[in-house]
Amino acid sequence: MSVYRIEGGRRLEGRLTVRGAKNASLKLMAAALMAEGPTVLEAVPRITDIETMISVLQALGAQCHWLSDHVLEIDPRGLNRWEPPDRLVRRMRASVQVMGPLLAKMGRVRLTYPGGCSIGARPIDLHLEGLRALGAEVVDEGGYVEARMVQPRDAVIHLDYPSVGATENLICAAALGSGSVRILNAAQEPEVAELGRFLNRMGARVRGAGQGTVEVEGVRRLTGVRHAVIPDRIEAGTYLLAGAITRGQVEVGPVVPAHVEALVARLEAAGCQLAWAGGRGPRRREGSLALEGVEGNPVDWVILRAERRPRPLHVRTQPHPGFPTDLQPQLMAYLSLADGTSLVTETVHTARFNHVDELVRMGASIQVEGRTAVIRGVPGLTGTTVQADDLRAGAGLVLAGLAAEGTTVVEGIEHIRRGYEDLAGRLREAGAAIEEVELEEEPVPAGV
């Protein structure tokens, strides 16, 4: 069993480089299935969720090759199946993102129900309702979902909730074909905007991706392209919080300033000093929004300095541009050391508090009441052995370990590897004492 062993209490100081966004790369890979030729994606992170998506695409008949370290080629010309294997769909929920592309390209898709996961129930009803509105016949029974495009039609779809995955699946499903579709109350996450940009480069007609209303006019064919994925805003946020929790000074990038505004505002409110190396960033952007839209996503590096315990905060996770749920556990680790009582309310996922009991074992004082965690800041945390049960909970525990006194052992790091490329190595470059070590699993006593 691999674990992270962390000697806490060292200030992080240095540069932390961010890879391409996991949650954009996965969707672009799925969308590449719709092209008539190969697509090359640059800046794809080397993480296990990407390996799982590669397996999904290969199982469907596409070919995938790493051309170099972070450059992935996807050739969909061998695509000949519309049913991703059950074991892969169960391993990674993002496998459902092949639904829209397969329906558009093959007219048909069948997959096992992805089910719940350790951050709460995650139904796909909004995906399915949307596909029905586009003219698909959808059968949802016996743990499987099957959709066939019977009568493609123009549609106006109002999402009950701005689901990221449903918005992305519907954009893809509508991108190829003759229909014209408006999606209202669409998710506005930067990864949705990135998918729209990517599809348009392939020849699609998508307007407004990344805004509340998205319009898609189907086209007859899409071509393969070469495309560099946007930086991972959640990875960037994790590194900024690592700098903050260790009261260090870090420079994190590349990052698109607009993608991290919600976190930057909270870090400033907590007492950190932030600056932008290239002079870009929230304060300097006035008047240049149109230019950004034309140019795409200018990037910068953000410099953070933290000197004392954070001031307490009240934070609610929300769909973008609200505070991202994918940084909630990391923020909670940070606020467990605040000089006062913080409130963190999780509104996006139903059960994303896996990290709380483990933080409490390290000396944090946190009580969960419904969807809100009440965090009474303590002056220090103490290292112990903790278990990561999901990706971002794991990142939060690593951050807590960096700040804790003594040794922290984080188990369950396979969850962390799903979304962070060599997290330990990256943190070491900024001075953290963290290493991955192999432990022998303790035998379970017989008869107990």
Question: Footprint of ligand EPZ on this chain (CB under 6 A)?
Answer: 23, 26, 94, 121-127, 161, 163-166, 187, 325-326, 348-350, 391-392, 419
Residue type (1 letter), 35: A
Is-contact 195 24, C-beta < 8 A? yes
- Local structure of residue 176 (DSSP, 8 states): B
In the complex with ligand EPZ, which residue's Cβ is closer, 54 or 124? Answer: 124
Is-contact 30 53, C-beta < 8 A? yes
Residue 180 pairs with which residues in a beta bridge? 217
272 included as an active-site residue:
no
* Tokens coding 290: 């149109």
In the complex with ligand EPZ, which residue's Cβ is closer, 63 or 347? Answer: 347
- Give residues with Cβ within 8 angstroms of 447, minimum separation 6: none
Of 82, 37, 36, 40, the residue nearest 57 (C-alpha): 82
CB of 348 to ligand EPZ, least distance (A): 5
Q: Which residue is nearest to ligand EPZ (CB)?
A: 165
CA-CA distance, 363 to 361, in Å (whole number)?
5
Residue type (1 letter), 208: G
CB of 273 to ligand EPZ, least distance (A): 28
CB of 128 to ligand EPZ, least distance (A): 7
Is-contact 420 399, C-beta < 8 A? no
Of 6, 13, 2, 12, the residue nearest 406 (C-alpha): 6
SS3 category, 333? helix
Is-contact 297 254, C-beta < 8 A? no
Say how many residues make up the chain: 448
In the complex with ligand EPZ, which residue's Cβ is closer, 128 or 303? Answer: 128
Q: Kind and range of the H or E element at 395? A: helix 391-403
CA-CA distance, 286 to 302, in Å (whole number)?
18
CB of 208 to ligand EPZ, least distance (A): 18
CB of 278 to ligand EPZ, least distance (A): 27
CA-CA distance, 229 to 226, in Å (whole number)?
10
- Local structure of residue 11 (DSSP, 8 states): P
Q: Is 10 exposed, middle or buried (0-12, 13-18, 19+ CB in 10 A)?
A: middle
CB of 120 to ligand EPZ, least distance (A): 6
In the complex with ligand EPZ, which residue's Cβ is closer, 117 or 219? Answer: 117
* Cβ atoms < 10 Å from Cβ of 432: 27
* Tokens coding 16: 């932390």
SS3 category, 265? helix
Residue type (1 letter), 319: P
Tell whether the torsion through CA atoms of 203, 205, 207 and 213 is positive or negative: negative
CB of 162 to ligand EPZ, least distance (A): 7
In the complex with ligand EPZ, which residue's Cβ is closer, 122 or 305? Answer: 122
CB of 157 to ligand EPZ, least distance (A): 12
Catalytic residues: 117
